[in-house]
């Protein structure tokens, strides 16, 4: 970008915008242009978006048009409630700016395909917030590529959020439990992270899905008719299997707001991936036991590294390594899981009708290993 900063705007600030702004405002390569909100939204959305702008000490923009003006903005973040993600992302791409969408990219597979269609004609890239830059995940991928574990045969994946942190980790309860805002429950909220990890570690696509869900811990979820927990069985290419547990539980098995772990069983070894390890355990004081992950909280580190990567790619004029094809693959598994719950049957993820978009020539964070994964596993299957 000819040595000038990457000019960043936010379209809506009601969901996750705060931590993203906090990271970006301290990046010397970034110039924050401001935050905008759509006209006609509920008053609380307007107030919340203005609040995050003030906290980040950035401008409140008069309109979304100002936030998507390609003469003023290079990169726009979409941080509305999930049910607006797809429409706002399409609008931003049509204006000619690069786009990063908060997860999930859409709340329905049809909407995700519309975003993919828009990206094929877009001048810039479109990426989605993800956790594939987690140091623990990247280390394990190197072990897999080096052959230390042999051939991946099975994975157990767990992603749990602790209900005791709900009031501090979720801006407003409705953003998670009201389907009009969230589009679904915790299956939609968290399963994509797990699918990303599985695809990233194995380079394989999901072929079959069986899921069970429940509202076991949160009365708010039950009242709104959405799940707070889910157990999902995945069948991958070449006979590889995977079990996934996601949910918002009373107390996650960790000392932070979320707990993420993966056990990868290979033909010649196994590995355990924990975002919050290595860590220093402190005994005594208040609380009596506390953990201090080396490098910082695993979720925060994964986010910071991904945003660092996005800004770096924007400076270079290249697409990030995680693209819409990756996000769409995750949403296809989520869609199959919901269909499985409804039918009590195994369902296959729906395939995309079109080709890939946004940086497909450079590969993708999750899919880049597909050829390698097929070579590692397919030759021996």
Rounded average pLDDT over 198-225:
96
Closest CA to 124 of 6, 275, 256, 241: 6
The predicted pLDDT at position 366 comes to 60
What distances in angstroms separate CA 338 from CA 69, 184, 200, 354, one per listed residue? 38, 9, 23, 23
Task: Tell me what pLDDT residue 252 has.
Answer: 84
* Rounded mean pLDDT, 115-128: 97
Crossing angle of helices 135-146 and 186-202, in 10° steps, is 30
pLDDT of residue 373: 40
pLDDT of residue 283: 82
CA gap 246, 258 in Å, rounded: 11
Q: Are 329 and 202 in contact (CB under 8 A)?
A: no
pLDDT, one tens digit per residue, over 124-169 is 999 999 999 999 999 999 999 999 999 999 999 999 999 877 767 7
Degrees to nearest 5, angle at CA 247 with 245 and 252:
95
Confidence of residue 78 (pLDDT cuts 50, 70, 90): very high
b/e code 64-99 from CB counts within 10 Å (16+ = b): bebbbbeeebbbbbbbbbbbbbbbbbbbbbebebbb
Q: Check residue 2 and give its pLDDT.
A: 63
**Tokens of residue 351, six digits:** 């395939």
Position 259 scores a pLDDT of 87
- CB of 250 within 8 A of CB of 260? no
3-state secondary structure the chain: CCCCCEEEEEECCCCCHHHHHHHHCCCCCEEEEEEECCCCCCHHHHHHHHHHHHHCCCCECCCHHHHCCCCCCCEEEECCCHHHHHHHHHHHHHHCCEEEECCCCCCCHHHHHHHHHHHHCCCCCEEECCCCCCHHHHHHHHHHHHCCCCCEEEEEEEEEEEHHHHHHHCCCCHHHHCHHHHCCCHHHHHHHHHHHHHHHHHCCCEEEEEEEEECCCCHHHHHHCCCCEEEEEEEEHHHCEEEEEEEEECCCCCCCCEEEEEEEEECCCEEEEECCCCEEEEECCCCCEEEEECCCCHHHHHHHHHHHHHHHHHHHCCCCCCCHHHHHHHHHHHHHHHHHHHHCCCECCCCCCCCCCCCHHHCCCCHHHHHHHHHHHHCCC
Q: Judge whether 45 and 12 are in contact, CB under 8 Å.
A: yes
Dihedral pair phi/psi, residue 198, rounded to 5°: -65, -45
Range of lowest pLDDT (7-21, 172-186, 317-331, 350-364): 350-364
- Reference 189, options 321, 338, 87; nearest CA is 338
Q: What is the pLDDT of residue 364?
A: 58
Q: For residue range 295-331, list pLDDT tens digits in order.
A: 667 688 999 999 999 999 999 999 999 999 999 999 9
């Amino acid at each position: 970008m000819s040595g000038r900063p990457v000019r960043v705007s936010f379209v809506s600030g009601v969901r996750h915008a705060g931590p993203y702004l906090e990271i970006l405002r301290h990046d010397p390569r970034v110039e924050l242009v401001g935050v905008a909100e759509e006209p006609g939204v509920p008053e609380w959305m307007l107030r919340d978006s203005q609040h995050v702008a003030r906290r980040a000490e950035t401008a409140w923009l008069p309109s979304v048009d100002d936030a998507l003006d390609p003469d003023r903005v290079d990169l726009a973040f979409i941080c509305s409630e999930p049910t607006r993600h797809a429409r706002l992302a399409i609008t931003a791409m049509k204006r000619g700016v690069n786009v990063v969408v908060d997860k999930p990219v859409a709340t329905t597979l049809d909407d995700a395909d519309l975003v993919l269609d828009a990206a094929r004609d877009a001048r810039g890239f479109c990426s989605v917030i993800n956790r594939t830059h987690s140091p623990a995940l990247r280390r394990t991928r190197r072990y897999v590529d080096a052959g230390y574990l042999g051939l991946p045969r099975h994975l157990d994946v767990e992603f749990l959020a602790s209900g005791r942190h709900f009031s501090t980790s979720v801006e407003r309860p409705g953003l998670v439990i009201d389907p009009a805002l969230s589009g679904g429950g915790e299956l939609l909220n968290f399963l994509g992270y797990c699918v990303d990890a599985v695809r990233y570690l194995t380079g394989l696509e999901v072929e079959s899905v069986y899921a069970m869900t429940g509202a076991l811990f949160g009365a708010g979820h039950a009242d709104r008719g959405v799940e707070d927990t889910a157990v999902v069985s995945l069948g991958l290419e070449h006979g590889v299997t995977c079990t996934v547990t996601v949910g918002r539980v009373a107390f996650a098995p960790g000392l932070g707001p979320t707990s993420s772990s993966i056990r990868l069983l290979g033909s010649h070894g196994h590995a355990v991936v924990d975002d919050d390890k290595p860590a220093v355990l402190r005994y005594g004081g208040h609380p009596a036991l506390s953990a201090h992950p080396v490098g910082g909280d695993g979720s925060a580190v994964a986010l910071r590294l991904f945003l660092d990567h996005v800004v770096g790619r924007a400076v270079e004029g290249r697409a990030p390594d995680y693209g819409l094809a990756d996000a769409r693959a995750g949403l296809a598994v989520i869609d199959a899981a919901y269909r499985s719950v409804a039918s009590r049957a195994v369902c296959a993820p729906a395939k995309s009708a079109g080709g890939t978009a946004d940086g497909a020539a450079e590969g993708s964070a999750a899919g880049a290993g597909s050829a390698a994964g097929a070579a590692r596993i397919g030759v021996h299957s």
